Amino acid sequence: MHDDSSWSPETLAVAAGRPPRTPDAPVNPALELTSTFVASTAPGARGYARFANPTWEALEEVLALLEAAQPASGGGARAFASGMAAVSAVLEQVPVGGLVIAPEGAYNTTLGLLDHLEAKGRLRQRRVQPADTAAVEAALEGTSPGDLLWLESPTNPLLEVADLPALCAAARAAGVRTAVDNTFATPLVQQPLELGADVVVHSVTKYLAGHSDVVLGAVVARDPELLAELTRHRTLAGSIPGPFEAWLALRGVRTLHLRVERSQASAAELARRLSTHAAVARVRHPSLPSDPGHERAKAQMRGFGSVVSVEVRGGAAAATAVQDGVRLWLPATSLGGVESLVERRRRHPLEPVVVPEELLRLSVGVEGVEDLWADLDAALTASQR
């Protein structure tokens, strides 16, 4: 295992998770397509493919190191069949009747799952505005061990930035675990475990894999006991990743730093231009000095992310016209791929009502920024006619 603490995350993304360096060995890990393994009594034997697979393990090594999970001390990452499978595994750790404190505006399927579990009596929930530190701290009053603070920062799609060090410290003082969905930031921009979180969740589908061809998730934790519980849930629930998907995701991680560097720079430039566009009522992106999360993002992130949200003048109809009028941008859900995507989020029934009807979420890819701007500018201008 590559565990050189002097290496940057960019280097770890390229160097970790590779086979032993022996003469004539392959550079890349193999794609292990098998449902079972030859029986062995050796410690750590895989036995059956629902327990482990070498291709998963290579991806998990890289993710653990990128998120600073301290593998040498028992921390690590576990890959799951999807981002929501990873979310479900974390929520499963909340005891029956336990409380989950979650953002009012966050990924709609996470909130939908929380609503579903609450309706079944499995857990209780309390919604908060994550950028309001005092409100979150107040929500933590009266909590019990086993309860959970669930955060996204920046949030999806409102791009609110939570004070992660303060909120993680408050949750720890209350005896409550903190889980952070780090999909938007990626471990190259933010490492929540270093900021005090207990668990990090990723939709690997997005930036980590990066090519819109994989559905996969991951959970990262430092506590060996928690990691064992997450692994047990994955095995028993059968929410295991496919080895081919894990292999593709690992290949995507190799270029993560290049893709994020390019898309972040383009996102900041587009946000700057959009902030003065006549068709735009509001731009949400932490790179803008006027953004409420700007100073906080500067303090705890190594960049501002590659997603920009805009509110189009003229309401939902105008926003839909922009979504349908672009030629280079793809009108599609998801994010984090090499291609740029645009979507009016309230078209989804589960989208929280705090998300404005006229909001477009822009996932900025790696195309030429001038081409992206020309296409978006034309569609925005046409939406006002």
Burial bucket for residue 10 (CB in 10 Å: 0-12, 13-18, 19+): middle
Classify the C-alpha dihedral 159-100-164-93 as positive or negative: negative
At 270 the three-state DSSP class reads helix
Could you give the CA distance from residue 323 to residue 332 in angstroms, rounded to a whole number? 9
**Residue 17 Rama label (left phi>0; alpha psi -120 to 50; beta):** left
User: Which entry of 46, 147, 177, 181 is annotated as an active-site residue?
Assistant: 181
With contact defined as beta carbons under 8 Å apart, do 310 and 274 qualify?
yes
Q: Directed axis angle between helix 243-253 and helix 54-66, to 10°?
A: 40
> What distance, in Å, lies between the first and last C-alpha atoms of the chain?
59
282 included as an active-site residue: no
| Non-local CB neighbours of 3 within 8 Å, separated by 6+ positions | 65, 71, 72
251 included as an active-site residue: no
Count how many residues are written for the chain. Answer: 385
User: Which entry of 46, 78, 177, 206 is annotated as an active-site residue?
Assistant: 206
Could you give the CA distance from residue 154 to residue 293 in angstroms, rounded to a whole number? 9
| Non-local CB neighbours of 120 within 8 Å, separated by 6+ positions | none
Could you give the CA distance from residue 326 to residue 311 in angstroms, rounded to a whole number? 16
Backbone angles phi, psi at 178, to 5 degrees: -120, 130
Extended beta strands in 210-302, E state: 217-221, 280-284
User: Which entry of 78, 107, 291, 361 is annotated as an active-site residue?
Assistant: 107
50 included as an active-site residue: yes
With contact defined as beta carbons under 8 Å apart, do 82 and 334 qualify?
no
Could you give the CA distance from residue 119 to residue 185 in angstroms, rounded to a whole number? 31
Give me the residues paired with residue 220 across strands.
77, 200
What is the Cβ-side half-sphere exposure of residue 358, based on CA atoms within 13 angstroms? 17
Tell me the catalytic residues: 50, 107, 181, 206
